[in-house]
Structure 1
Amino acid sequence: MIEVYPHPALVELADAPRRLEYKAGNMGKYWKDLSAEKRRYKLFKTWQTIENLLEPEISGVSMSLPKITLSSKVAQLKAYEDTLDAIICAWVGICALEGRAIPFGDSESAIWIPRKAPIP
């Protein structure tokens, strides 16, 4: 059993300099000056980017996610986000089994972070 946090895994997957803005409940914090419609659009674009990054790692990711639209209810967006987090965690588990993840922490507690190349 390993512990995984989706955010650090996504940062590594995207080779991003900081956390990705992909939590539906934080749209107002991410994009304060945008309308609700534009916030959703930006969130959906981020989710699409994440799907595209995960697809080479786990074939069929997009088909495994709930179907949503820009007019979906908040509960549907949360279900999508939760499923995306679960897929990210599964991907990190795969990476750990393949020797492509490393623990950060100590012998008592650590989170696992994927690496794109195998760990020597």
Structure 2
Amino acid sequence: MGQKIAGTAYVKVDGAQLTISGGGEAPLMDKKRETVSPGFYKEEELAPYLKMTALHTPDFPHKALTQGTDMTVTFEFNNGKVYVLSGAYLVGEPASKADDGTLDLQFDGVKGVWQ
């Protein structure tokens, strides 16, 4: 029997639901490892983050997202996995695209937890 692993995702930012068109991404680890020599590696901390492509709907919480510096972002993947990012804030230069009405968003935060 097949199992559903992709499809519609659900994102809430401080309780406000965003409409997502795709491109959801969350890190599996809180560290970045790099091999120095076979069997030896170095490790750096990786900032927890969430990336997504959202639709710029009429009720899009523009002010709350651009001014928020301690938000909770919950991303529910269609396979049932949930990633919660706390202490979150928008990073980069998010911009609304007129041709398809989307926004590429990246939230970095203090702590990311898979549930």
- Normalised by the size of structure 1, how large is the TM-score? 0.24
The structure whose residues are more often helix, as a share, is 1
The structure whose residues are more often strand, as a share, is 2
- Normalised by the size of structure 2, how large is the TM-score? 0.25
